[in-house]
């Protein structure tokens, strides 16, 4: 029996589908579009305490805050597929899922322009001191002292990763008449020629860029792409933008760069240890190394040269609708025995 027929045989006509971290409108959308199946949605994040709610799940829906590891999987004996409503999948133990023959599907494309727009927004907020300006006028103070910004036109931006999101970032940067250097493990020279940017080695990009923006997934190869060693190579006064994954940048190195002046400012939508910084109760569960990391992140939060948003780059009406549409398509394809957007 081939794999497709095996999938068809394994999944019942009426599947039990459980989703976590879903808003009421998302639950309604999923329920309406999966009406031939037993669907239940929860707003809560999936944890070891509430995983029993999904004990009969054949298809599990999760988001980036839902950590799916061996402990969770052990409590889901009927599970056949995981649908993550995100592009990233580092919150799921993919190897453990493979061992158990659990199919994992993601949403590879939903908000490439959405995330790139957030990155540009963070950059403009830093270079034009928008946050400080608004805070000042709200207090009735219209003084311009200390609010002088810098132009983007003519600056060199280093874009790390030229996938869907990185490509949009290249286009937006060119619209601002910036020089664009890009780094990617798999350079697309045709794309570079069409948009008008140049591929460069990482060391050159770090040395020459006035701004560096991250648009790569997290994996072993991309862990701490900015670290204590290469932070010294950055052009003095560089601005760092990260809307990708927190672990791409060593937080300790970032603090050092800010202190020594290598880095003029940061715009971050992601942090290395996001769950614990969001929820104080999670702090006690961490190792001493990770507790130190959270303390460093709190220093970033207090730094006036650092703008941090709460992993919000994906969060637009249009992008969320596209996520739901693709997720429903992923589920239906899996139930037909022809899974799509499989994470390998």
List pLDDT tens digits, range 37-81.
Answer: 999 999 999 999 999 999 999 999 999 999 999 999 999 999 999
Across 13-33, average pLDDT:
95
pLDDT of 280 strictly over 80:
no
Q: Please check whether residue 314 is in contact with residue 294, taking contact to mean a CB–CB distance below 8 angstroms.
A: no
Query: pLDDT digits over 150-179, tens only?
Result: 999 999 999 999 999 999 999 999 999 999
| E strand residue ranges, 161-207 | 179-183, 198-199
> What are all long-range contacts of 335-340, with beta carbons under 8 Å and residues at least 24 apart?
335/11, 335/15, 335/37, 336/8, 337/4, 337/5, 337/7, 337/8, 337/11, 338/4, 339/7, 339/81, 339/103, 339/105, 340/105
Q: How confident is the model at residue 294 (pLDDT cuts 50, 70, 90)?
A: confident
* 280 labelled catalytic: no
> 255-264, pLDDT tens digit by residue?
999 999 999 9
Positive or negative, the CA dihedral 316, 322, 328, 334 is: negative
Give all domains of the chain, ordered by start, each with its CATH number: 3-110+318-335 (3.40.50.720), 119-308 (3.40.50.720)
The pLDDT-based confidence of 122 (bands split at 50, 70, 90) is very high
Residue 245 annotated among the catalytic residues of the structure: yes
Could you list the beta-strand ranges (E) of 120-175. Answer: 156-160
Residues 6+ apart with CB under 8 A from 236: 261, 262
Distance in angstroms (rounded) separating the CA atoms of residues 221 and 242: 17
- State whether the Cα torsion 310-107-42-99 is positive or negative: negative
From 26, 58, 117, 274, the catalytic residue = 274
- pTM of the predicted model as reported, rounded to 2 decimal places: 0.86
pLDDT in tens, 219-231: 899 999 999 999 9
Average pLDDT, the chain: 93
Average pLDDT over residues 292-318: 93
Compute the C-alpha angle 256/172/343, nearest 5°. Answer: 75
Q: Is the pLDDT of residue 313 over 80?
A: yes
- Reported confidence tier of residue 10, pLDDT bands at 50, 70, 90: very low
Contacts of 139 (CB under 8 A, 6+ apart): none
3-class DSSP state for residue 40? Answer: strand
- Catalytic annotation present for 224: no
**Which is catalytic among the residues 245, 272, 273, 297?**
245
């Amino acid at each position: 029996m081939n794999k497709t027929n095996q999938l068809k045989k394994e999944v019942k006509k009426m599947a039990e589908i459980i989703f976590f971290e879903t808003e009421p409108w998302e639950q309604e959308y999923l329920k309406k579009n999966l009406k031939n199946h037993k669907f239940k949605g929860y707003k809560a994040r999936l944890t070891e305490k509430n995983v029993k709610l999904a004990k009969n799940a054949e298809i599990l829906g999760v988001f980036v805050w839902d950590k799916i590891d061996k402990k969770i999987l052990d409590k889901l004996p009927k599970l056949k597929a995981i649908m993550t409503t995100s592009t990233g999948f580092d919150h799921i133990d993919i190897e453990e899922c493979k061992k158990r023959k659990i199919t994992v599907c993601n949403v590879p494309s939903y908000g490439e322009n959405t995330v790139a727009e957030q990155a540009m927004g963070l950059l403009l907020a830093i270079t034009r001191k928008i946050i400080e300006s608004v805070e000042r006028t709200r207090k009735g103070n219209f003084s311009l002292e200390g609010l002088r910004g810098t132009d983007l036109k003519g600056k060199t931006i280093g874009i790390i990763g030229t996938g869907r999101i990185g490509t949009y970032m290249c286009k937006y940067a060119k619209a601002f008449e910036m020089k664009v250097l890009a780094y990617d493990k798999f350079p697309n020279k045709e794309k570079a020629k069409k948009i008008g940017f140049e591929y460069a080695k990482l060391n050159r990009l770090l040395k020459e860029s006035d701004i560096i923006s991250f648009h790569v997934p997290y994996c072993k190869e991309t862990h701490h792409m900015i670290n204590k060693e290469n932070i010294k190579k950055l052009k003095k006064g560089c601005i760092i933008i990260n809307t990708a994954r927190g672990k791409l940048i060593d937080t300790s190195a970032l603090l050092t760069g800010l202190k020594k002046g290598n880095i003029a400012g940061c715009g971050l939508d992601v942090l290395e240890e996001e769950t614990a910084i969001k929820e104080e109760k999670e702090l006690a569960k961490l190792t001493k190394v990770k507790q130190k990391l959270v303390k460093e992140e709190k220093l970033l939060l207090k730094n006036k040269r650092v703008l941090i948003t709460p992993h919000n780059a994906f969060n637009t009406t249009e992008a969320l609708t596209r996520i739901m549409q693709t997720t429903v398509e992923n589920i239906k394809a899996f139930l037909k025995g022809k899974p799509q957007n499989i994470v390998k």
